[in-house]
Amino acid sequence: MTLGPWLEVDLGPGVRAGFSTVVAGNLGLGLGDEPDAVAERRRAAERWAGGPVAWGRQVHGAAVHLATAGGDDVAACDAMVATQVGLAVLVADCVPVLVADPAAGVVGTIHAGRAGVVAGVVPAAVGALQRAGARELRAVVGPAICGACYEVPAAMRDDVDAQVPGTASTTSWGTPALDLPRAVTRQLAELGVRVEDLGLCTRTDARFFSHRGVRDGRPAGRVAGIVRLV
């Protein structure tokens, strides 16, 4: 089967949602690609999304931004909420989450890396979505480094697991690890969100960019998760 630039996911009627693959190219700024080339790929992504998209500047925190217009670098934040515009989350191993309540006309994105998960970015985003009117949220957890691949020092694993119980994991080669997709999925479910984890690992699946995969000779880049009401 031919690999396309977008892997579409279902978040209900009237929602365009999906994750880009390496075929769509690197969508992250500051990784060595010409800014003009990245901008051109982002415009192609917006054509796929069917309209303007807000691209945040992610900082591994728990701040949530209410996006009202499209554009690059709209705010320093790791979660966004919108009713009028599309949203993009950029990742290369961190956990991307797309959220929507089409009946309420609200969408959201979450960039959940280790620091963001500890800082509480997931509950912060769900709270902001609910304040924006969401009642029945659906979410998809996209491609991220999995609990069998995300190796960390033992002290870090213990520290994160103490703050976010259930994140501790073990790599397939038997060393301490963190399972962030599992932690994020569980947090969303506990907050009443109907959530699906795609179960795609960026480190072992070359269809996506991977920060850790760069060590194995794969090119640097960021894929995007985009959600937009259409």
Nearer to Zn ion, 33 or 179 (CB): 179
Closest CA to 139 of 92, 181, 95, 196: 196
C-alpha span between 84 and 82 (Å, rounded): 6
2: DSSP letter: P
Q: CB of residue 9 vs Zn ion: minimum separation in angstroms?
A: 19
Q: Does 178 bind Zn ion (CB under 5 A)?
A: no
Nearer to Zn ion, 32 or 173 (CB): 173
Q: Which range touches Zn ion (CB under 5 A), out of 8-16, 109-117, 149-157, 181-189?
A: 149-157
Member of 95, 140, 152, 201 binding Zn ion (CB under 5 A):
201
Nearer to Zn ion, 57 or 182 (CB): 182
Per rule CB under 5 A, count of chain residues that contact Zn ion: 6
In this structure, are residues 207 and 22 in contact, taking their beta carbons and an 8 Å threshold?
Answer: yes
Nearer to Zn ion, 60 or 212 (CB): 212
Residue 193: φ, ψ to 5°: -90, 135
- Three-state DSSP class for 133? coil
Q: CB of residue 92 vs Zn ion: minimum separation in angstroms?
A: 13
What's CA 198's distance to the chain center, in Å?
A: 12
Q: Does 149 bind Zn ion (CB under 5 A)?
A: yes
In one-letter notation, the amino acid at residue 2 is T
Q: Does 27 bind Zn ion (CB under 5 A)?
A: no
Closest CA to 16 of 50, 54, 45, 55: 50
What is the binding site for Zn ion (CB under 5 A)? 146, 148-149, 201, 203-204
